[in-house]
Amino acid sequence: MEPRKARLLRIEPLTHRGRDGKVYTRTREVESQIREALSLDWTVLCEHVAIERYTTPGFIKEECLVYLIRRFLRAGESELVSHLINCLANRLARRVHSRVSASLNWSLVDDSTQEVMIEVARRITDLDSDKDDFAQARFGLWLERVTYNAIRPHIRTQRDTRAKHADIEEVEQSNGKKKALRSDSLSPEQILLNQETLRLATEQAEGLLERLDPEVREAYMLRHRDGMEIENKDPDVMTISKHFGRTPRTIRTWLRGAEEKLQELQGGQQ
């Protein structure tokens, strides 16, 4: 019979497959953190989970935290799960708020941030599905996707509203006179065609990124989508170099290689 301690420390593997058909996997660091966390007394575990600064000893990564939430939720440990979710929310609140603020008008930020946080909790605690296993593999990129999908309707509405206001300003001049609408305005059919072209271009870009090595792809997204610095002398500032535990030179090599690879792939599809 398997020893009780061995059963407690056994980690369930991820089961969901990415677009490449491969099952998502956790990093060795995350697997190690999970084993260590499961061996801790609950009081100590709660103390470690509450640590928000990654440079502080005992800090537990978000990928590990997601696993713990799902594991203890299955075990019916509702009080511990509540604490874990609250700690995760405290960590993410500022990050999500900043991301939403960069995309939406200030009047929409607070409500939209709350929507994102609710969606994050809903996805993590959905034990009937494994489609969010990616949160245990690359949490930062997973959070970016969840955030964007949650605020996308607001971005679309905001864009349409601005376009409508722009049309009104063109028609109504400052002297009170009205100006005829441009005859070259797009037809509904042309608008749909442009939207479809943009959608296909976006899917093509995502498809090209999926063909990069996972770490290189994440580094590329952190740099070009999130604007994260490659290096910074401040020890408390998260950088791409610190995120991967690699030298800035290595990260720059990755990024140059990614840009060359993407150009090569894009050229091959033309």
The answer to the question of residue 26 being in a domain is: yes
pTM: 0.61
98 and 21 fall within a common domain: yes
DSSP 134: G
The answer to the question of residue 21 being in a domain is: yes
44 and 127 fall within a common domain: yes
The pair of three-digit structure tokens given for residue 252, joined into one six-digit string:
């720059």
Boundary-marking domain end, from 82, 116, 147: 147
The answer to the question of residue 83 being in a domain is: yes
20 and 143 fall within a common domain: yes
| C-alpha distance from residue 30 to each of 58, 170, 189, 229, 236 (Å) | 13, 55, 50, 23, 21
Number of folded domains that form the chain = 2
42 and 111 fall within a common domain: yes
Q: How confident is the model over 161-219, as pLDDT tens digits? A: 776 655 555 555 555 554 444 444 444 444 444 444 444 444 555 667 777 888 888 88
The answer to the question of residue 164 being in a domain is: no
Does residue 176 come out as left (phi exceeding 0), alpha (psi in the -120 to 50 range) or beta?
A: left
111 and 218 fall within a common domain: no
The answer to the question of residue 163 being in a domain is: no
Residue recorded with tokens 């309707």: 153
Distance CA 112, CA 151 (A): 6
Boundary-marking domain end, from 147, 178, 207: 147
Collapse the DSSP code of 67 into the 3-class scheme (helix H, G, I; strand E, B; otherwise coil) and give the result: helix
127 and 212 fall within a common domain: no
In sequence order, the β-bridge partners of residue 23 are: 17
Structural domain including 59 reads 16-147
126 and 29 fall within a common domain: yes
Q: Could you tell me the CATH number of the domain that includes residue 243? A: 1.10.10.10
Task: Answer for the pair 70, 122: CB distance below 8 angstroms, yes or no.
Answer: no
Q: Each residue's pLDDT tens digit in the chain (270 positions)? A: 444 444 556 899 999 988 778 899 999 899 999 999 999 999 999 999 999 887 788 999 999 999 999 999 999 999 999 999 999 999 898 889 888 888 888 888 888 999 999 999 999 999 999 999 999 998 988 998 899 888 888 888 887 777 665 555 555 555 555 444 444 444 444 444 444 444 444 455 566 777 788 888 888 878 876 678 888 887 767 788 888 888 999 999 988 888 888 777 766 554
24 and 130 fall within a common domain: yes
Which amino acid makes up residue 193?
Answer: L
What is the distance between the terminal CA atoms of the chain, rounded to a whole angstrom?
60
Distance CA 203, CA 205 (A): 5
The answer to the question of residue 225 being in a domain is: yes
Boundary-marking domain end, from 82, 115, 147: 147
